[in-house]
Chains A and B, each alone.
Chain A
Amino acid sequence: MNPQNVRGLIGWVRRVFFGDPARRFAWVSLLLTLSLAVAPTKDFFRQSRQYQRQYSKVIERRPDARALRGRMVSGIHQIWLPDLGILDRCTTCHLGIAEPTLADASVPQPFRAHPPIPHDAEKWGCVVCHRGQGPATEVAEAHETTVAWEQPILPVHFIQASCGTCHLDDLPQAPQLDQGRQLLARFDCTGCHKIAGIDRPAMLGPDLTDIGTKVSREWLYKWLKEPRTIADANGNVTVDGIDFGEPRMPTFRLSDSELQDLSAYLSTRNAHPIRPYHFDPRIVASLSKRQDVADQGEARFRQMFCSTCHSLAVTRAGETSLIGGDIGPELTKIGSKVNPDWLAAWLRNPQEYLPHSQMPRYEWSDADLYEVTRYMETKLTDPDLLADVPKLGSPTKTEIEAGQRLFVDKGCASCHVTEGLSPQEDFGPDLSAIGSRNISQLDFGPAKVQPTLIAYLKSKISNPLSVNPSGRMPQYHLDQASLDAVTTALLSLTGPPSTRGMEKLIVARQNPEFHPAGEFGKLYERYKCYACHKFNGFGGTLAPDLSYEGSRATRQWLLQFMENPQTLRPTLVLRMPQFNMPERDAAVFADYFETAMQSPAVDATLDRKQFTPTMAAAGKQLYEKKYQCQACHTIGSAGGYVGPSLGNAGNWLTPGWIEAWLRNPQALVPGTIEPRQAFTADEIQALTAYLLTLKQSGPANGAAAAPSARGTK
């Protein structure tokens, strides 16, 4: 086509379309009309209408099409909760959300019914749990991060975070959230960060005022460099993760000179020197001659059930694992760590060195103490522990001063106290609203991750340097499940409630304290009962709740048990330690339990005499035949190991407790796995009578069994 033709064509077009004012006007009007028609057209073909048409087709193929069609309303749907400030239009497209017949997987999304949850969607809306943009009626706007909305849908894997925005208390239905919160507390995240719902405990890390009397400078150097010491032949850390073995101390990235300065500063913290304990010379003389004194100590260590709180590394078939509890630190290499004088003083009275320690104060005979300390000093050692520590020598003044500065700068003072330095709070950023942080507020730094809050949190926790190479946060070592749990717990921190209605929904964390006064109170603190047991909602979860112990156990049994704890559940590894409690202390406990720890649901006046042998015989039939209790409980050597052994139930339990327990076990111990059976009154009477007849001859049985039965976890 030559240029002349082109010009001719253009001229023709101009003449035909814009030749005179009338044509011009006509064409401009037509163009304007068309452009104005765009808006209503877009309106007509909006996404929600397409979904509603699609839904109509889907329900036509269902057997209950008629009913479904009857309930389907076209147009914009919304759940409006003015109190909560919630306006959700999700149901505009998610039309089958409340249709129970659309629950199966054959129903395409977004029409499937919501799986059953404890909350009613009509009452709560959708975004309160799922996040995203409620008012939106377009998929991208509702679900994803857009320019005008930075809070995307929360992936289902982390949905428990939403439970945590209102339920500040523990929530058994949200295990991932609970685990994450426990980890936040366990790793002392509150040392540096403000985290709503987790209080700063009285003691985060140990008080270091006298750390110089406990460990050497070389050990401090090693510990500060890498607190994890359980390694295989190649030097790789084998015991990792948080369930067991991970020290609560994270790994700080310290240079060699920083390590020298800090170890110098800490090794000179020794204001209160240890007074060496003078063992009875006759006992030392007689024991030190024996070859097996350490073995004796080991036996004693096991008998006293130190392993309930402390773990030891055991290598079996080339695989190292830790055996024991995680309330106290792992002790595999304790002999290479602490000063022997300090160890003896500590075992005799832990609170003298560390007032906030959870370690109970045992009653020691000189022989026991000598044997156990010898065991720990000679067997629980590692000669190579300090092999890679350079020659440090005695600390110089410059080093000590630099160390003190580092102690503050590196955040040590956030968790640890030393004399002259009070703990510093808010060393790290406030995390109270981290879960609602917008993406534009996050600094991803050099991290190559997706631009989402979840990816940011995971990257930051698993390697703090990934998002901020000059950050001060230390390195933690978490496995994938724990990382997800911590992320979930952090996502639940969305700041203070935005509306009055939300405020009303908050289920506050219960923080009951139970520190009774008097004689019992002193012993309670001495033996640290609450480290494992719960009392009126306060205390640990390792051991049974003792809030109603006075209603449950007979006085005689309590006295015997505390002097010589024998397990009721032979399969457990973690058992009550043997405190070598004097009779007087046991009596104080028994008195207190009998008076104060009573359940109103238990009839304490019930007398053993009113249960006859005939009833007991009927009860035996019910136990063995009708209800087959032996599936879970042992009597003697026969039966299951799910519930406690009932061989000594007659001596152990009170008639009132048995009777109330059979009526409703969950009323006495919430969440117990004992099934609630529909016993008749006669059956309860018969079973109670039978259980009361079950008596073992004496405490000797259990005592003999306890030390030998060692399980592994």
Chain B
Amino acid sequence: MQKSLAAPTGTAIRNPIQALARWRDEFKEIFSARVRERQLGFRYTWYLGALTLGTFSIQLITGLLLMLYYHPSIPQGYADMKDLHFVVSSGVFLRNLHRWSAHAMVFLVFAHMAKVFYRGAYRPPRELNWVVGVCLLLLTLLASYTGYLLPWDQLSYWGTTVGSSIISSTPFIGEKLRFILLGGHTVNANALLRFYVLHVVILPLAVILLVAIHLWRLHKDGGMYVEHEKNVEKR
């Protein structure tokens, strides 16, 4: 690893070039200093984590473009869907890409978790990363759920009505939770606005933050988990 430009650890970096170089190194260090070829093979991970990250970046890009056309208001939200369908160039493609990639992301997150679980990759020293991963799973589901309301059609309206009713059956605080989520007692303009803000600001930022931690821990914990460490050492 090249560390010539890097400042000694523990000292403040004042030189911007040095700072950039440190950045570059940090990116390089997503992977451990020593990476074994087997760790990068398809067999052990099926690349599920990387694919999840890929779908998430598709979500970010298409989501940003969709935000150019969407107003979180009633009934304009639905009219914007119609505009995307009928008028915006490749609008159908954009929307469908966002939607299918969201489905794929949920599927991949589950698959990733199952793979990690059944391979026992959650065991120490990776237990913290497992916890971060579970949080990411919840955030993915929440992002998917909040996005469901935004088209403001019958399906999304009733889907959200059912979903929020399920939330309200939480013991003791159910009704309060539902009220906070919807910004009222029914699925209406307030709920649409809250779901929009959750979907485009709060949840993506949280996911980005946790993904950063996830990758940082990955690096710190010795990279991708591979079985039979002894065999790997032999090669």
Indicate if the CB atoms of B87 and A137 lie closer than 8 Å: yes
- The 8 A CB mask of B59-84 against A (1 = contact, 0 = none) is 00000000000000001000100110
Indicate if the CB atoms of A43 and B87 lie closer than 8 Å: no
Judged by a CB distance under 8 angstroms, whether B2 is at the interface is no
Complex interface: chain A residues within 8 A of B83 (CB) = 135
Within 8 A of B (CB), among A114-173: 133, 135-138, 141, 148
A141 CA to B92 CA, complexed, in Å: 14
Indicate if the CB atoms of A43 and B89 lie closer than 8 Å: yes
Judged by a CB distance under 8 angstroms, whether A333 is at the interface is no
Indicate if the CB atoms of B86 and A135 lie closer than 8 Å: yes
Indicate if the CB atoms of A39 and B87 lie closer than 8 Å: no
Judged by a CB distance under 8 angstroms, whether B165 is at the interface is no
A447 CA to B193 CA, complexed, in Å: 44
Instruction: State the Cβ distance, A424 to closest chain B Cβ, in Å.
Output: 32
Given contacts A87-B79, A148-B153, contact A40 B90 (CB under 8 A): yes
- The 8 A CB mask of B139-150 against A (1 = contact, 0 = none) is 000000000000
Judged by a CB distance under 8 angstroms, whether B93 is at the interface is yes
Instruction: State the Cβ distance, A49 to closest chain B Cβ, in Å.
Output: 12
Complex interface: chain A residues within 8 A of B153 (CB) = 148
A42 CA to B85 CA, complexed, in Å: 12
Judged by a CB distance under 8 angstroms, whether A89 is at the interface is yes
Indicate if the CB atoms of A43 and B90 lie closer than 8 Å: yes
- The 8 A CB mask of A401-418 against B (1 = contact, 0 = none) is 000000000000000000
Given contacts A135-B79, A136-B82, contact A89 B87 (CB under 8 A): yes
Indicate if the CB atoms of B86 and A89 lie closer than 8 Å: yes
Indicate if the CB atoms of A76 and B87 lie closer than 8 Å: yes
Complex interface: chain B residues within 8 A of A136 (CB) = 82, 85-86
Within 8 A of B (CB), among A69-119: 76, 85, 87, 89
Complex interface: chain B residues within 8 A of A76 (CB) = 86-87
Range of interface residues on chain A?
A: 10 to 19
Quick one: which of B82, B85, B93 contacts A39, CB cutoff 8 A?
B93
Instruction: State the Cβ distance, A143 to closest chain B Cβ, in Å.
Output: 14
Indicate if the CB atoms of A39 and B86 lie closer than 8 Å: no
Q: Report how many residues on chain B are interfacial, defined by Cβ distance under 8 Å.
A: 12
- The 8 A CB mask of B28-49 against A (1 = contact, 0 = none) is 0000000000000000000000
A577 CA to B148 CA, complexed, in Å: 71
Instruction: Give A499's nearest chain B residue, CB to CB.
Output: B75
Instruction: State the Cβ distance, B150 to closest chain A Cβ, in Å.
Output: 15
Task: Report which residue of B75, B93, B153 has the largest number of chain A beta carbons within 10 angstroms of its beta carbon.
Answer: B93
A137 CA to B89 CA, complexed, in Å: 12
Complex interface: chain A residues within 8 A of B79 (CB) = 87, 135
Complex interface: chain A residues within 8 A of B82 (CB) = 133, 135-136
Complex interface: chain A residues within 8 A of B86 (CB) = 76, 89, 135-138, 141
Complex interface: chain B residues within 8 A of A89 (CB) = 86-87
Instruction: Give A78's nearest chain B residue, CB to CB.
Output: B87
A587 CA to B82 CA, complexed, in Å: 70
A461 CA to B153 CA, complexed, in Å: 32
Instruction: State the Cβ distance, A588 to closest chain B Cβ, in Å.
Output: 60
Complex interface: chain B residues within 8 A of A85 (CB) = 75
A137 CA to B86 CA, complexed, in Å: 6
Instruction: Give A136's nearest chain B residue, CB to CB.
Output: B86
A39 CA to B92 CA, complexed, in Å: 8
A135 CA to B93 CA, complexed, in Å: 18
Instruction: State the Cβ distance, B88 to closest chain A Cβ, in Å.
Output: 9
A43 CA to B87 CA, complexed, in Å: 10
Instruction: State the Cβ distance, B98 to closest chain A Cβ, in Å.
Output: 13
Complex interface: chain B residues within 8 A of A138 (CB) = 86
A43 CA to B93 CA, complexed, in Å: 9
Within 8 A of B (CB), among A32-62: 38-40, 42-43
Instruction: Give B90's nearest chain A residue, CB to CB.
Output: A39
Instruction: Give A76's nearest chain B residue, CB to CB.
Output: B87
A39 CA to B75 CA, complexed, in Å: 27
Complex interface: chain B residues within 8 A of A39 (CB) = 90, 92-93
Complex interface: chain A residues within 8 A of B75 (CB) = 85
A39 CA to B65 CA, complexed, in Å: 15
A42 CA to B79 CA, complexed, in Å: 22
Complex interface: chain B residues within 8 A of A133 (CB) = 82
Instruction: State the Cβ distance, B83 to closest chain A Cβ, in Å.
Output: 7
A373 CA to B117 CA, complexed, in Å: 100
Instruction: Give A38's nearest chain B residue, CB to CB.
Output: B93
Complex interface: chain B residues within 8 A of A40 (CB) = 89-90
A76 CA to B84 CA, complexed, in Å: 13
A85 CA to B79 CA, complexed, in Å: 10
A193 CA to B72 CA, complexed, in Å: 39
- The 8 A CB mask of A503-542 against B (1 = contact, 0 = none) is 0000000000000000000000000000000000000000
Complex interface: chain B residues within 8 A of A141 (CB) = 85-86
A136 CA to B79 CA, complexed, in Å: 10
Task: Report which residue of A76, A133, A136, A148 has the largest number of chain B beta carbons within 10 angstroms of its beta carbon.
Answer: A148
Within 8 A of B (CB), among A357-371: none
Instruction: State the Cβ distance, A126 to closest chain B Cβ, in Å.
Output: 15
Instruction: State the Cβ distance, B27 to closest chain A Cβ, in Å.
Output: 22
Instruction: State the Cβ distance, A361 to closest chain B Cβ, in Å.
Output: 58
Instruction: Give B91's nearest chain A residue, CB to CB.
Output: A43
Within 8 A of A (CB), among B187-218: none
A434 CA to B179 CA, complexed, in Å: 34
A76 CA to B87 CA, complexed, in Å: 7
A89 CA to B90 CA, complexed, in Å: 18
Complex interface: chain A residues within 8 A of B90 (CB) = 39-40, 43
A138 CA to B83 CA, complexed, in Å: 12
A330 CA to B75 CA, complexed, in Å: 54
Instruction: State the Cβ distance, A28 to closest chain B Cβ, in Å.
Output: 13
Instruction: State the Cβ distance, B224 to closest chain A Cβ, in Å.
Output: 19
Instruction: Give A134's nearest chain B residue, CB to CB.
Output: B82
Instruction: State the Cβ distance, B38 to closest chain A Cβ, in Å.
Output: 17
Instruction: State the Cβ distance, B156 to closest chain A Cβ, in Å.
Output: 12
Complex interface: chain B residues within 8 A of A135 (CB) = 79, 82-83, 86-87
Chain A to chain B contacts (Cβ below 8 Å), 8 pairs = A38-B93, A39-B90, A39-B92, A42-B92, A43-B89, A43-B93, A136-B82, A136-B86
With A43-B89, A136-B82, A141-B86 given, can you name 16 additional A-B contacts, CB distance below 8 Å? A38-B93, A39-B90, A40-B89, A42-B92, A43-B90, A85-B75, A89-B87, A135-B79, A135-B83, A135-B86, A136-B85, A136-B86, A137-B86, A138-B86, A141-B85, A148-B153
Query: What is the interface of chain A, defined by CB distance below 8 A to chain B?
Result: 38-40, 42-43, 76, 85, 87, 89, 133, 135-138, 141, 148
- Pick the 9 closest A-B CB pairs, nearest first: A39-B93, A135-B82, A137-B86, A39-B90, A43-B90, A76-B87, A43-B89, A136-B86, A135-B86
